[in-house]
Amino acid sequence: MSNIILEIKDGSFYYSKEKFIFDHINFELGEGEIMAVMGKNGIGKTTLLKCIIGLLQWTDGYSAINGKIIDFKSLNQVGYVPQAHKTSFSYTVFEMILFGKIGHNSYFANPKTQDYEEVEKVLVRMGISELRNKPCNELSGGQLQLVFIARALVNSPKLLILDEPESHLDFRNQLRLMKIIKEYVSEYKISCIINTHYPNYAILFADKCLLLGDDYYQVGEITEILNEKSISEYFSVISKKIVASYKEKDFTAFVFIDEVSDLTV
Amino acid sequence: MLKSGKHSEKSVILSLIGLLLCVCIFSMMLGKYSIQLGDILTVFKNRVFNSYNEELKVVDHIIINIRLPRVILAGIVGAGLSISGSSLQGTFQNSLVSPDILGVCSGAGLGAALGILFFDNNIVVITVLPFLFGILSIILVFFLSGSKKKSDNMTLVLSGIIVSSIFNALTSLVKYVADTKDKLPTITFWLMGSFSNTTYREILISALPIFIGLLGLLMFRWKLNLLSLGDEDAYTLGVNPKQTRWLIILFSTLITAACVAVSGIVGWVGLVIPHICRKIIGNNHDKLLFISCLVGAIFMIVVDTIARNIVTSEIPIGILTALIGAPFFAIIYRRSRGGE
């Protein structure tokens, strides 16, 4: 088993005691592993990510990175990619990515030459060099998403967390994005959590899966726990699993057929 | 590309510094007693080399004791209000924010009104009291906004509005009870802002808080960029939003309160100058703060020169900053919209 990077122990969170959002969630994530977090709208996927990085406080339990509880200081090992959003003041793409380097510098420090070089590298890696001088607020949602990912990667994080990264992208760019993330995660041996609405991408790229339900959850190898039964259970959707072969490799996907009607329950 | 970008920033800064110097000299030439450029240079030369010229005795007095302190103070106040406007805009993620958003100016106004009412001859008290009341208003905002738990932007702005309106009402009360022949006009004129009768004492009083504030804000110039992305982004990128926001508010308040204490309430500068600078140099606060200082100083010196030259008696500067600033802003805004 590879080294553990992220550990969530007894993670619980609630706004009021009557209704837990999460109740004692436990999982571990190792080097080079990607975990997909899935569940219905409003089930608390983003809340979970926020709890993991301390943006919201766990009511009980903790999250630890490399054996140390995640606090504000250890956030420099975490790259968090929020959902693409415009900002009040428009910065250029280059500046926005450079900001990934600023937070953990001392107060008087200007960014160093090395910081600028790392921004250049990550621009190339993400394939957005030609956007470098464009104002972020003039980008499409998909381009902006790439910029935010670049901003998270520029700090060479140990843990990469993405909140619905594919939501603004067309499906070619979704594939491309997932490939970039997959390559990066295995090349730099980091861990990655992706919050996604697309089981078919999850099963293509993720190693593990966390399914969030109302007051239950399931975590494990994605090939084991993501199936017709769990999709019906967690998403109330009737689906059929299909397997397609391409260049002697099997690709699994789900076809979504209909909602589970209340009468059948 | 990066290099050429940096080059143009340098040339912008250099040309602004040049412009600032020209504006300073020009401002010292103009006035009821107009002075030639050569005489100004001779006066400074004499001062530097400690020589004496009987013919230029009057010119020397006007330049060194009247116009120079006034130009310096106008420059400092312009720079101070602009940088604190820029910083607060970044902090509150809104380019409509000006330095008086949290009630500093209203507080200072009340301080001045009280000072004039109770200590009318003591100029030091009339300068220090507005400063203290400006700081007091921020302390009130701090406690009203619940300090720790939920000090998000909206809570802060609302607390600012509450504090402002209380202080404004109290100022009205002071005006109402003030002697209409003597004290009421003084209070009213103070509130309109002016640099007349500036001496080096005002500069001395305001220099320390403004210097501390400037240094503090410049220190936070990169963190300010992150803060302007919103609290969650700031946090995940390694900037504690609440703590940083309060520090920036504190430094801005030091500056604004000190400026208002020596010049009265000069509106509009802290809103319009940052806006113009954002158009010139972009939103990166790393450069924006420096540029805001320079442009603010230039603008204030120009307006003050107009204020004391356009008619025989001086026009309060608060009126002029709005009258000149607003159309100027409208033109810039239209231009940049057309250019997009």
Q: Tell whether A199 and A163 lie within a shared domain.
A: yes
**Closest in A50, A91, A108 to B219, CB measured:** A108
A30 touches chain B (CB under 8 A): no
Q: Tell whether A68 and A120 lie within a shared domain.
A: yes
Contacts of A129 in chain B (CB under 8 A): none
Is B222 close to A109, i.e. CB distance below 8 A? yes
The CATH number that applies at residue A171 is: 3.40.50.300
Q: Tell whether A184 and A135 lie within a shared domain.
A: yes
How close is the nearest chain A Cα to the Cα of B288, in Å? Answer: 12
How close is the nearest chain B Cα to the Cα of A72, in Å? Answer: 7
Q: Tell whether A48 and A77 lie within a shared domain.
A: yes
Contacts of B223 in chain A (CB under 8 A): 102-103, 107
Give chain B's radius of gyration (CA, Å): 21
pLDDT at A234 over 60: yes
Contact B294, B16 (CB under 8 A): yes
Q: Tell whether A141 and A231 lie within a shared domain.
A: no
Chain B residue whose CA is closest to A101: B237
pLDDT band at B324 (very low <50, low <70, confident <90, very high): confident
Q: Tell whether A214 and A144 lie within a shared domain.
A: yes
CB atoms within 10 A of CB A130: 9
The tens digit of pLDDT for each residue in A9-41 reads: 888 888 877 777 888 889 999 999 999 999 988
% of chain A exceeding 70 in pLDDT = 97
Q: Average pLDDT in the B281-309 region?
A: 94
Contacts of A85 in chain B (CB under 8 A): 230
A-B CB pairs within 8 A amount to 75
How close is the nearest chain B Cα to the Cα of A220, in Å? Answer: 27
Is A133 close to B220, i.e. CB distance below 8 A? no
Contacts of A100 in chain B (CB under 8 A): 237
Dihedral sign, Cα of residue B260, residue B265, residue B270, residue B276: negative
CB atoms within 10 A of CB B298: 24
Instruction: List the single best residue of B1, B236, B290 to mutate versus A (max A Cβ within 10 A).
Output: B236
How close is the nearest chain A Cα to the Cα of B151, in Å? Answer: 15
Chain A residue whose CA is closest to B93: A88
Residues 71-90 (A) with a CB less than 8 A from some CB of B:
72, 75-76, 78, 80, 82, 85, 87-90
Q: Tell whether A157 and A259 lie within a shared domain.
A: no
Count H helices and E strands in chain B, helices first: 15, 0
User: What pLDDT does residue A1 have?
Assistant: 52
Alpha helices in B92-152 (DSSP H): 104-118, 123-144
**Closest in A78, A87, A133 to B228, CB measured:** A87
How close is the nearest chain B Cα to the Cα of A3, in Å? Answer: 24
Strands A78-81 and A159-163: parallel
Contacts of B232 in chain A (CB under 8 A): 50, 55, 82
* CA atoms of A16 and B305, how far apart (whole Å): 62
Instruction: List the single best residue of A47, A91, A99 to mutate versus B (max B Cβ within 10 A).
Output: A99
User: What pLDDT does residue A140 have?
Assistant: 87
pLDDT band at B337 (very low <50, low <70, confident <90, very high): low
- Give me the number of domains chain A comprises: 2
User: What pLDDT does residue A3 have?
Assistant: 85
ipTM of the complex: 0.88
Tokens 């924010």 correspond to what residue? Answer: B97
Q: Tell whether A32 and A157 lie within a shared domain.
A: yes
Is A103 close to B232, i.e. CB distance below 8 A? no
**Closest in B223, B237, B286 to A100, CB measured:** B237
Of A45, A21, A56, A52, nearest to A215 (Cα)?
A: A21
Contacts of A80 in chain B (CB under 8 A): 236
| Average pLDDT along chain B | 88
Q: Tell whether A126 and A247 lie within a shared domain.
A: no
Please, what are the domains in chain B? 17-339 (1.10.3470.10)
In three-state form (DSSP H/G/I as H, E/B as E, the rest C), the secondary structure along B9-78 is HHHHHHHHHHHHHHHHHHHHHCCCCCCCHHHHHHHHHHHHHCCCCHHHHHHHHHHHHHHHHHHHHHHHHH
A100 touches chain B (CB under 8 A): yes
How close is the nearest chain B Cα to the Cα of A38, in Å? Answer: 22
Q: Tell whether A88 and A134 lie within a shared domain.
A: yes
3 state SS of A164 = coil
pLDDT band at B151 (very low <50, low <70, confident <90, very high): low
Is B93 close to A87, i.e. CB distance below 8 A? yes
**Closest in A88, A95, A107 to B93, CB measured:** A88
A79: enclosing H helix or E strand: strand A78-81
Q: What is the largest CA-CA distance in chain A?
A: 65
The tens digit of pLDDT for each residue in A118-141 reads: 999 999 988 899 999 999 999 988
* CA atoms of B70 and B227, how far apart (whole Å): 36
Range of the structural domain that residue A157 is part of: 4-226
User: What pLDDT does residue A221 have?
Assistant: 93
A57 touches chain B (CB under 8 A): no
Is B278 close to A89, i.e. CB distance below 8 A? yes
The tens digit of pLDDT for each residue in B195-244 reads: 988 889 889 989 999 999 999 999 999 999 999 999 899 999 989 898 89
Q: Tell whether A192 and A261 lie within a shared domain.
A: no
Q: Tell whether A175 and A235 lie within a shared domain.
A: no
